[in-house]
Amino acid sequence: MPKALIVDDSRTIRLILRRILVEMGYEVCEAANGREALAAIETERAVSLVLTDWNMPEMNGLELVKRLRQNPELASLRVVMVTTETELGHMVLALDAGANEYVMKPFTKDILKEKLELVELGARAGA
């Protein structure tokens, strides 16, 4: 079973994402900010997908993406930014930093599933 890490300071958003991911067959762990996410990845080790918010205390999602991409051991980790940041400039920054996909809040279950399927296809194709 693939393992996903949800990184968001909103407990409600984590719950919504957890339900969708579990329905899709993922084992799920959670973190409330980027620092907790890095610690969780260190201890969990089998995480293959990260869904992260942008705006969080201590370490935001963009910083988290950059830190993940600096580590060669985590190069294949799939990262999806799930955020209220809707400006094109934010999307470009996230994708340039190494996010594989970008989902804007509010989102539907179908939109999230579609984006995750795209990320999975890219991973299988070696992208």
What integer pLDDT is reported at residue 75 of this predicted model? 79
Task: Quote the CA–CA distance of 78 and 41 in Å, as a whole number.
Answer: 13
Domain harbouring 47, CATH code: 3.40.50.2300
What integer pLDDT is reported at residue 124 of this predicted model? 60
Q: Total structural domains in the chain? A: 1
Q: Which domain holds residue 29?
A: 3-124
pTM of the model: 0.93
pLDDT, tens digit (0-9, with 9 covering 90-100), for 15-41: 999 999 999 999 999 999 999 999 999
Residues β-bridged to residue 31: 7
Task: Quote the CA–CA distance of 44 and 86 in Å, as a whole number.
Answer: 31
pLDDT band (50, 70, 90) for residue 114? very high
Cβ contacts of 105 within 8 Å, gap of 6 or more: 13, 82, 83, 84
Question: Hey, how many other C-beta atoms are within 10 angstroms of the C-beta on 54?
Answer: 22
